[in-house]
Structure 1
Amino acid sequence: MGRLVAVDFMSLDGVVQSVLSADEDREGGFDEGGWVPPYVDDVVGRFMSETTAGAGALLLGRKTYEIFASTWPYGDMDDPAIAAMNTMPKYVASRTLRELRWAGSVLLGADLATEVDRIKTEVEGEIVVPGSGDLLRTLIEHDLVDEYRILVLPLLLGGGKRLFAEGTVPRHLTLASARATPSGVLITTYRRATDDTEVS
């Protein structure tokens, strides 16, 4: 049975928008894009590589899929993470895409909750959701995420899309691990609390 694992970079004030480059996502007039690379030290790089290489599948939103599909099929196949991404199944949630050119990509149907439940029965191990903020907020709304791996960066952005938006269903989580990196990033792992009860 697969487990859905969300992996996200987040500023200290909760922003997850346009993490890698200025033009990744300017929606809402956001002009602080590209805030993650200066903080990617060896520990962060190794964590991301191991998380990707160890996944059984990826689940991606349209924007993240298009960024990945334009880059990683042409990467160094001697890199375990790049090789894994190019061989594992890649499930894509999109209302607009009709054709997926990256090998191993599968377009999901409109009923995301049903599709994710199906994927969990088909995939052994971790189904990793990297970035994909809009998709992830929908997954959170439907309480489909089993584990959060959040890399909290030591900066304040003041505005932008938040990971946990207004209306998030309250849930108890358990802190499974936390460690700081040389650049000041806090790598945290949160899992569903064992009783899986809603916060009253």
Structure 2
Amino acid sequence: MAKLTLTQFVTLDGVYQAPGGPKEDTRGGFTHGGWSFPYADDDFGAFITGVFDRVGAFLLGRRTYDIFAGAWPKVTDESDPVASRLNSLPKYVVSTTLDKAEWHNSTIISGDVAAEVARLKREHTDGEIQIHGSGALARSLMAHDLIDEMHLLVYPVVLGSGLRLFADGVPPTRFGLVSSSVTSKGVAIHTYRTAGRPEYGAFELDE
């Protein structure tokens, strides 16, 4: 059974929208696209390479799929650790509006997404199934306890607006910290494993 992992870039105030460029995602009049670019360094590259070394298949939301499909097929260097895997490995895109997925080795998922993703996890045995970006998809799968592990790359910037990964309505979830590191430019990389529902208690003072 494959592990389903999420790799997500977020700001200190939880925004995940358009980390890669000004035109990537302007929904809601968002004008801060490209906020992750100034923080790229060798530490970031080494972490991402390690993530892609473990991949067996990709699971993407429609918007992320379109962004990736518009860029990565143009990178033809087979030694590129990201492009070589994105261009060759199975890609599952969740969409109710996409008629066909032309990027090599792509399959459209619609209908009962949770059931289909659960099936994919059971059937894939070679490497992780990885979600990159795709915040809305990630939230929907969290509601069904399907995400096993999250890599949250927290950037030292606050934007004050934009789509947030953990928006109101996300199911209460407890996590265990697996690993943590900080890049030379201050990006905090935390890997969390899901651990069921939160536990509660109270601090009480003796009278």
TM over 0.5: yes
For 2:53 and 2:119, the matched residues in 1 are separated by: 22
Letter in 2 for 1:41: D
Alignment pair present for 1:136 and 2:127: no
String of CA shifts for 1:46-88, please: whole Å, max 9, x gaps.
2112212320110001111111111112212221321111221
State TM-score, norm by structure 1. Answer: 0.94
The question of whether the paired residues in 2 share the 8 Å contact of 1:146 and 1:192 is answered with: yes
Instruction: Report what 2:17 is aligned to.
Output: 17
Unaligned runs of 5+ in 1: none
Shift of 1:169: 1.1
Q: 1-side partners of 2:198 and 2:111: how far apart? A: 27
Give the AA of the match of 2:64. T
CA 1:81–1:53 in structure 2 vs 1: closer, same or farther (change >3 Å)?
farther
Partner SS, residue 135 of structure 1: helix
Aligned residue in 2 for 1:120: 121
How far has the Cα of 1:13 moved from its partner? 0.7
Please give the secondary structure, in 1, of the residue aligned with 2:158. Answer: coil
Give matches, 1:102-113, under 5 Å.
Answer: 102-113=103-114
* 2:193 aligns with one of 183, 191, 200: 191
Question: What secondary structure does 1:127 align onto?
Answer: strand
- TM value normalised by structure 2: 0.91
**What residue in structure 2 maps to residue 79 of structure 1?**
80
Query: Aligned partners of 1:84 and 1:54: how far apart in 2?
Result: 10
Alpha-carbon offset, residue 95 of structure 1: 1.1
Query: Following the alignment from structure 2 to structure 1, what is the Cα–Cα distance between the partners of residues 50 and 61?
Result: 21
Deviations 1:139-158 (A, max 9, x none): 12222211110000001011
**Partner of 2:165 in structure 1?**
163
Name the CA distance, whole Å, in 1 between partners of 2:175 and 2:102.
37
The CA deviation string for residues 87-144 of structure 1, in whole angstroms up to 9 with x for no partner, is 2110100111111111110111211110110110121231110001221121122222
Aligned residues: 198
Q: Does 1:6 align with 2:14?
A: no
Name the residue aligned to 1:51. Answer: 51
1 CA distance for matches of 2:169 and 2:101?
Answer: 32
Q: Distance in 1 between matches of 2:188 and 2:111?
A: 35
Give distance in 2, aligned partners of 1:67 and 1:171. Answer: 29
Matched, 1:40 2:40: yes
Aligned partners of 1:64 and 1:168: how far apart in 2?
20
Match of 1:150 in 2: 152
Q: CA deviation at 1:198?
A: 4.6
Q: SS state of the match for residue 3, structure 2?
A: strand
Structure 2: gaps spanning 5 or more residues: 201-207
RMSD: 1.3
Shift of 1:165: 1.2
Matched residue SS, 2:48: helix
SS at match of 1:70: helix
